[in-house]
Structure 1
Amino acid sequence: MRLCLLLMTMICLSGCQSASVRTDAVCQSYTLDYDTPTDPALQAELEALDARLRERCGMTAEPTAVGVLDLKRRRLALINPDRIDYAASVAKVGILLAYFQLHPDAATHLDPVVRHELGLMAKASSNEMAAKYSRQMGLRQIQEVLNSYHFYDARRGGGLWVGRHYGVDGERIGDPLADHSHAMTVRQVLRFYLLLEQGKLVSPQASQTMREIFAAPDIPHDDIKFVKGLAGRDVRILRKWGSWKDWLHDSAVITGPGRHYILVAMTHHPNGDQYLADLAGAVDDLLARRP
């Protein structure tokens, strides 16, 4: 088993140039905070697209939260970016970050078994693996790591929160603003991926290793939400989705010819998955166009 996982790791490492974006391709000086302005043209197009898709999906009474960050042209568009809600499995990105923050040697000396298990958590969304590693580190330590990057601020709408071990009963720490066991806002998930692409989570090498884990060629994508909407396109996708009851979300870094962007969307509606699939295809069409 260990030999098999070692071979998978070697395949992943050999393909990392094609499976992830080089950090020097992202503008290192770009920051996303509460005062970062949106691009007027992209903002107008995203708002019109969101309204059209909510009408098509019968979601006109349900607010969505959406963010698009065009990394090639440094354009931002946001809808309800600081509206906190239950994150479902999207918050597992916090467990991944905390692991590398609390185990600095993992950036360059990651055990193949651990690499595979973290991939199952991040890409296949395994609750079992998420609980294994959150228990090892502790919920409070995980949240301390997230807070150190300012991924949660109760004064500004909240953000990323990991307050319960996935899939098991027991310890629960609700977020201070909304008492969610797992929480997210569009703005803070956009920031997570931006810092990841810039190589600023833990270290450049740790960020690269995390991108390889999201890419994990031995673990297939779940063909739902953004991935369904982008099927058949010449794009690479690093993503973390979340589903629980009608809380249906997706988040991704998407790269293709002429485009490199981050897309995050949150829904709370039975038709959320269809909205997310349609959104991904429409946003990709928009950003694939030459300016």
Structure 2
Amino acid sequence: MQLPVETTDSINKISELRNTNLQNILKKEIDKNALWKGLVAKNLMAIGIVDLTDMSNIKYAGINDNLMMYAASLPKIAVLLASMDAIENGELEDTKEIRKDMRLMISKSNNAATTRMIDRVGYEKIEAVLRAPKHKLYDEETGGGLWVGKRYGGGGDTNREPLKNLSHAATTMQVCSFYYQLVMGNLISDERSKEMLEIMKDPALHHKFVNTLDKIAPRAKIYRKSGSWRNYHSDSALVWGPNRRYIIVALIDNDFGEKIIRDLVVPLERVMKKARNLEKETKI
């Protein structure tokens, strides 16, 4: 199966893809679970989904999707993006060592490799790439977004984000936007988007979303980055298979966050299927 990259001159913002039916069905599904409903109400849980089944009619929905939370290792995708941008612009030499560190950073979430990449590109570069008008992966006017302002290890200076003083942050909307822009070939270039997807493919860690996807979608390609620290649990995945094509993202502040994320996959798939069926019915 080919990498899911669509070449296009311009793309919609992720917020412009919000679908009313998908949004309503998502809320109803989450509200069925008392724990999830309570976490959402307390701003301890955020979700984002993008249905890519029909690439000419991409649909987005989210709950607390502009709520920026501590996201542990998930924002390492921002370091990947900044590193690729630096390579593209001749600011960082493209070597086997750097390619190895980028893969270790994403697939195995290796902190030492990530810290080496952060030190190579610097906080100023990471922030500039995240704030770039083309990508807008961090924007105060929409609640913040992706941010990396601290090494994944001891020592060193910090560059915490300005809204909540977080070191490693994300909103589900901007993580969805990251994956969506990858699919559309909009992160740096079509070729660099493909390279980043290749690095993110076949994650070495099989927990959270991947634990469930291994069982229900063994033939699907999974492009993924997750994170956990204490009670903070996050996961994000682009799933590209014969019967499913979507992006799912979850941020949870709860001791049982890993299990919650595992348990979200089937309900989120059900939400997207219901929305597609409803759309078909209204067209008849």
Please state if 1:66 is matched with 2:52. Answer: no
Q: SS of the counterpart of 2:178?
A: helix
Q: Equivalent residue for 1:221?
A: 204
Instruction: Please say if residues 59 and 271 of structure 1, whose CA atoms lie closer than 8 Å, have aligned partners that are also in contact.
Output: no
Unaligned runs of 5+ in 1: 1-16
Root mean square deviation of aligned Cα? 2.4
What do residues 214-266 of structure 1 show as CA deviations (whole Å, max 9, x unaligned)? 11x5xx53121100121222321101101111110101111122331111111
Partner of 2:253: 268
Moved over 3 A (4+): 27-30, 56-63, 109-113, 285-290
Letter in 2 for 1:112: K
Please show how residues 200-239 of structure 1 align to structure 2 within 5 Å. 200-215=186-201, 220-232=203-215, 233=217, 234-239=219-224
* CA distance in 2 between partners of 1:207 and 1:153 (Å): 21
Equivalent of 1:129 in 113, 120, 135 = 113
- Equivalent residues of 1:94, 1:146 under 8 A apart: yes
Q: CA deviation at 1:28?
A: 6.8
CA contact (8 A) 1:54 1:275 kept: no
Question: 2:151 aligned with 1:165, yes or no?
Answer: yes
Matched residue, 2:31: 51
| TM-score (structure 1 length as normaliser) | 0.83
Are residues 288 and 254 of structure 1, via their aligned partners in 2, closer, same or farther at CA, if it must alter by over 3 Å?
Answer: farther
Secondary structure, counterpart of 1:90 in structure 2: coil
Q: Select 1:143's aligned residue among 127, 135, 147.
A: 127
- The structure-2 alpha-carbon separation of the partners of 1:155 and 1:56, relative to structure 1 and needing over 3 Å to count, comes to closer
What is the alpha-carbon distance in structure 1 between the residues aligned to residue 136 and residue 238 of structure 2? 20
* Structure 2 counterpart of 1:14: none
Instruction: Supply the distance in 2 between the matched residues of 1:72 and 1:260 (Cα, whole angstroms).
Output: 5
TM-fit CA distance, 1:281? 2.5
2:64 alignment counterpart:
80
- Greater displacement, 233-242 / 92-101: 233-242
Contact 2:30 2:36 in 1 (8 A): no
Is residue 175 of structure 2 the alignment partner of residue 189 of structure 1?
A: yes
1:255–1:286 Cα change, 3 Å: farther
CA separation in 2, counterparts of 1:60 and 1:195?
26
Q: Deviations over 1:103-132 (max 9, x none)?
A: 1178xx953332222111012111101100
Partners of 2:255 and 2:206 in 1: CA distance: 17
- Give the conservation status (yes or no) of the 8 Å contact 2:185–2:193: yes
Q: Counterpart of 1:146 in structure 2: which amino acid?
A: L
* TM-fit CA distance, 1:286: 4.3
Task: Check conservation: 1:225, 1:273, Cα contact below 8 A.
Answer: yes
Structure 2 residue runs of 5 or longer lacking an equivalent are: 278-284
TM-score by length of structure 2 reads 0.85
8 A contact 2:149–2:158 mirrored in 1 = yes
User: Is it true that 1:120 corresponds to 2:120 in the alignment?
Assistant: no
SS in 2 for 1:200: coil
Q: Secondary structure at the match of 1:164?
A: coil
Q: 1:61 to 1:31 in 2, by over 3 A?
A: closer
**Which deviates more from structure 2 when the two are superposed, residues 75-84 or residues 59-68?**
59-68
